[in-house]
Amino acid sequence: MRMVLKARIPTEPGNELIQNGELPKIMETAIAALQPEAAYFTLDDGERTAFFYFDMTESSQMPTLLEAFFMDLHARVSLQPVMNAQDLRTGLSELMSGT
């Protein structure tokens, strides 16, 4: 299932990770693990924030995929299913056809 992972990194831990050179390494490790179809980096409520859109096949993957964000980044993490435009078309078509 396509998911969006949002990770908000608090300022102080983020500053430390940048100063010691760890933030790029942690992000590259996350990208390698998630293999996202898209990754975006921005600010949210004044904090460094990353959005990763990726496929999660089993909910049992959550600990493996998420713990580094909690432990290494001290991030606030949210995870939710999302659809792309084709998924929405398919879902609406099935809804309208009654299947």
Q: What is the pTM of this model?
A: 0.90
**Sequence-separated (6 or more) residues with CB below 8 Å from residue 31:** 39, 52
| Confidence label for 99 from pLDDT (cuts 50, 70 and 90) | low
Q: How many helices (H) and strands (E) does the chain have?
A: 4, 4
- pLDDT digit string (tens) for 67-90? 999 999 999 999 999 999 999 999
Each residue of 25-75: pLDDT tens digit? 999 999 999 999 999 999 999 999 999 999 999 999 999 999 999 999 999
